[in-house]
Amino acid sequence: MSSVDFQRIETEFRALALLAGDVIMGIYDGPDFEIRSKSDDSPVTAADEAADAVISAGLARAFPGVAVVTEEQAQSHSVTADSFIIVDPLDGTKEFINRRGDFTVNIAYVEKGVPLRGVVYAPAKGRLFYTRADGVSVEETGPFAVETRSTLTQLQLRKADMGAVLVVASKSHRDQATDAYINRYNVADMRSAGSSLKFCLVATGEADLYPRLGRTMEWDTAAGDAVLRGAGGRVVTFAGHDVLAYGKPGFENPFFIAASPTVELLQG
pLDDT in tens, the chain (268 residues): 447 899 999 999 999 999 999 999 999 998 877 777 676 667 778 999 999 999 999 999 999 999 999 999 999 999 999 999 999 999 998 899 889 999 999 999 999 999 999 999 999 999 999 999 999 999 999 899 999 999 999 999 999 888 999 999 987 777 889 999 999 999 999 999 988 999 999 999 999 999 999 999 999 999 999 999 999 999 999 999 999 999 999 999 999 999 999 999 998 7
Structural domain includes residue 70: yes
Same domain, 212 and 236: yes
Same domain, 135 and 10: yes
Containing domain of residue 39, as a range? Answer: 6-154
Binding region for substrate: 71, 90-93, 220
Same domain, 108 and 187: no
Binding region for Mg(2+): 71, 88, 90-91, 220
Domain boundary among 97, 126, 154: 154
Domain CATH for 104: 3.30.540.10
Category of 146 on φ-ψ map: left (φ > 0), alpha (ψ -120 to 50) or beta: alpha
Same domain, 149 and 171: no
Predicted TM-score (pTM) of this structure: 0.95
The total number of structural domains in the chain stands at 2
Binding region: 71, 88, 90-93, 220
